[in-house]
């Protein structure tokens, strides 16, 4: 079972991951997770400024920021990905969200095949809001590629790298699904939970 820690300033708990993101988050009792989508993709630095302003307008601290959905122009090479991640976490360190390289914020990062952005950008983000309920039922699981976390390079650990046959895609998908299940389980959820109808706040963020 993955290690789970509480991030009390944000009102959520998280599955410990790597320095650039956690493996998933879930609202603590008394909170729920809301999601906001930018009307247009916003570059990382500008997006963080807008997220900070949005949370301030709601009377929420920056610590309420718990997950984000990114879009990138193309897959990074090893050095480029490391540089991008170091730049991404610096503002979160300044916010006091990351301490001692423990990052509670979940993340996904997709490289669109159609109309990719010119630079890494925010598509959407999630944050906690107080609710009059002791039952916490909202969560976000971080995205995962078909590569186990580890010290080797992605080329060395990516499953069936460069292969696109039905059998290879099946093996890749099975591995990713196998990653999602333990992350959900660590937070107290399962696939069956997804069949319940949940009303989760969602909005399009236009400022």
pLDDT of residue 2: 76
The rounded average pLDDT for each run of 10 residues, N- to C-terminus, in the chain (207 residues) is 90 95 95 96 96 97 98 92 94 96 96 94 97 81 84 80 92 90 92 53 47
| Burial bucket for residue 31 (CB in 10 Å: 0-12, 13-18, 19+) | buried
Angle, to 10 degrees, between the axis of helix 44-57 and the axis of helix 78-95? Answer: 20
Dihedral of CA atoms 148, 154, 156, 161 in degrees, nearest 10, equals 90
pTM here?
Answer: 0.88
């Amino acid at each position: 079972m993955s290690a789970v820690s509480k991030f009390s300033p944000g009102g959520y708990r998280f599955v410990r991951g790597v320095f650039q993101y956690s493996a998933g988050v879930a609202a603590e009792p008394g909170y729920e997770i809301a999601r906001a989508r930018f009307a247009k993709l916003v570059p990382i630095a500008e997006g963080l400024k807008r997220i900070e302003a949005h949370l301030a307008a709601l009377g929420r601290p920056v610590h309420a920021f718990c997950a984000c959905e990114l879009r990138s122009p193309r897959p990074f090479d090893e050095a480029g990905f490391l540089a991008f991640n170091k730049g991404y976490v610096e503002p979160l360190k300044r916010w006091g969200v990351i301490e001692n390289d423990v990052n509670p914020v979940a993340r996904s990062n997709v490289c669109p095949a159609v109309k990719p952005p010119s630079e890494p950008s925010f598509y959407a983000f999630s944050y906690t809001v107080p609710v009059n309920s002791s039952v916490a039922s909202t969560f976000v699981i971080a995205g995962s590629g078909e590569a186990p976390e580890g010290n080797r390079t992605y080329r060395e650990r990516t499953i069936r790298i460069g292969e696109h046959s039905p059998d290879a895609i099946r093996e890749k998908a099975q591995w990713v699904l196998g990653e999602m299940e333990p992350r959900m389980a660590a937070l107290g959820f399962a696939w069956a939970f997804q069949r319940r109808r949940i009303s989760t706040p969602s909005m399009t963020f236009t400022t």
